[in-house]
Chain A
């Protein structure tokens, strides 16, 4: 499925691994949180980059002690109305200081894209056939915000601000 970053389609260099699929020797793989817990040692024995996929029922704190081991954290949205992932992304950044890629996957609509970015999400996986132009446009429609986004760490000296352009 296409991957969007900064409003553009980008290549996906990761392989998402089913829980029963064999672990390849080479290349970056994404495993489920359950598999990470079950096969931790085998996964860490590899030298290739590792990503973990968090269901919406698992909060950022569950992977916090191991974040340095992940080059990618995938946050799942089972339904676009389920907003837990916004908190998960923000906590990964603000609470646990995670600096790797955060990827949102699942049922997400274009109108949520600017909010995801403001919560610290780097990339979004979108369905095949998605008009990337629509996603790019949603990113730049509203340029004023009334609260800081992730990464804007100055003291709260003002409420309103311009959103950094994508």
Chain B
């Protein structure tokens, strides 16, 4: 039997020569743009959108490069390549974001074309990770592995990635545009209703694939939960419908005020019925051969995401069961960080990037290399990035879990808190970002230390904390069960607490609890809110349910109680 490297089974879109040529040409295009900028032929105003569309931001202290990780999937050699780039051109670490991308925070403009060249060598790029264009399409981190999956959403994420890549008509939209896809019959692990377009993949009674479509969600200073614009969109019409939405938005979206330019404002101001009518009108007109998504294309793309060759195994591993009985720490990690897999005897593993006192989403080059090696050994050479800023090895044999856990422990990556209170989402905040009003990272660090005890975290259960350093809401604070928003009061950092947010299909925006607090007060207040929840909850009741039952008052009272 010929040897097949595990990464050849990785669930990524595997480039061919045409894709490689495209990315190389794009690198040369950017090199030419940088040259013209450095010679003064392009003004900073003109250069800005060009660099943004290649992922390059100017932050407080340096340039930041945001590298696209399409729908958060990576092959092991790509992760090693990212580790090498971080080592050579940055400070030996990177930061995974809520958009499933990787950010390098200390980049020099002159190095950028070479970095993009290095990325091209591993079939990667930074195209459209910023700018007023369609951004990285995100999806469920357990795609292809989750037992509740209807159809693999990566297929459609890749089709849309290709279709929206340097789309000639939609590269200068009123504002950025984000699409997320979920394909679970039961849950939404892609937060589709807080995106500009959210798609839920479905099957109808005839067994045909289609989509439920939501348009106009988003966070930022005016948060909206996206309304449904279509209950059923046949697969073949996916591109025509997205094209119709984008065209209506490109023509009618506001361009007079950047804060009102997202499609959520257009949907809101136009009124939903009228907006749907505009889109349907355009859709009816362009629906036809030119935009029909041929099933042959879908199948060709689907072949890139064929299931890897799983071993036939009994449903449960005796070895894993024995190890769990012997080792309480391993058992705790399995309970929080390991999920069921559709293939018997397999599991999906979340690698938490949220150690107590750590920076959420940060990972060192050494850790990236270690994860790449473990992915080769245990998960067909494939790694996923989650919108909760963790990593996933999606296809691990249960027999291997103990060895994997030991290896992760050795590199500080076995924190047992996936989905618990320590699994905090935070934006880079004022430590890096020029838009921020306040730091996010120190709050996340203080809270993760405050709740470091695994037994306490297990007792608290499902309670998501999300932190943003400004109203742009990159840390998704609106949809945190407890959200924390950094605000500036006369040059001082303050923090506003919201409660009751939720990013799943029954999404809701959190309500502000009261006046903003100092950093120390905010951390204490969160702890008291959690304690109050533990006192008052009924058996098995989630925080959100207790809050719904009791209302805000008891939580507000304890949050602002004088010491």
Contact = CB atoms under 8 A, between A and B. Distances in A.
A58 to B, nearest CB: 10
Contact of A115 (B168, B247, B255, B289): B168
Contact of B250 (A86, A134, A137, A138): A86
Interface string A93-122: 011000000000000010110111011000
B293 A156 contact: yes
B162 interface: yes
Contacts of B285: 95
A47 interface: no
B233 interface: no
Interface string A128-166: 000100100110011111111100010111111000000
Nearest to B167: A147
Contacts of B41: 131, 134
B363 to A, nearest CB: 30
Contacts of B172: 80-83, 86, 112
B169 interface: yes
B161 to A, nearest CB: 8
A31 B50 CA distance: 33
A115 B171 contact: yes
Nearest to A157: B294
A143 B102 CA distance: 27
Contact of B168 (A84, A119, A160): A119
Contact of B290 (A87, A146, A153): A153
Interface residues of B, number: 46
Contacts of B21: 143-144
A148 B166 CA distance: 11
B194 interface: no
Nearest to B43: A109
A158 B341 CA distance: 33
Interface string A16-37: 0000000000000000000000
A143 B129 CA distance: 21
A26 to B, nearest CB: 37
B296 interface: yes
Interface stretch (B29-37, B58-66, B263-271): B29-37
A158 B16 CA distance: 14
A53 interface: no
B251 interface: yes
Interface residues of A, number: 39
Secondary structure dominating the interface of A: loop
Nearest to B253: A84
Interface in B132-170: 132, 159, 162-170
Q: Which of B26, B164, B165 gathers most chain A CB within 10 Å?
A: B165
Contacts of B28: 141
B291 interface: yes
B294 A155 contact: yes
B19 interface: yes
Contacts of A157: 294, 296-297
Contact of B159 (A84, A90, A119, A159): A159
A6 interface: no
B46 interface: yes
B18 interface: yes
B171 A146 contact: no
Given A86-B172, A156-B239, A144 B18 contact: yes
23 contacts: A83-B132, A83-B172, A84-B251, A86-B168, A87-B247, A90-B168, A111-B29, A111-B33, A115-B171, A119-B169, A134-B36, A142-B22, A142-B26, A143-B25, A144-B18, A145-B168, A146-B162, A156-B291, A156-B292, A156-B293, A157-B294, A160-B19, A160-B22
Nearest 10 pairs of A and B residues by beta carbon: A83-B172, A118-B168, A144-B22, A155-B289, A115-B168, A146-B162, A141-B29, A86-B169, A142-B25, A159-B162
Interface of A: 59, 80-84, 86-87, 90, 94-95, 109, 111-112, 114-116, 118-119, 131, 134, 137-138, 141-149, 153, 155-160
Interface of B: 18-19, 21-22, 25-26, 28-29, 32-33, 36, 41-42, 46, 49-50, 132, 159, 162-174, 239, 247, 250-251, 255, 285-286, 289-294, 296-297
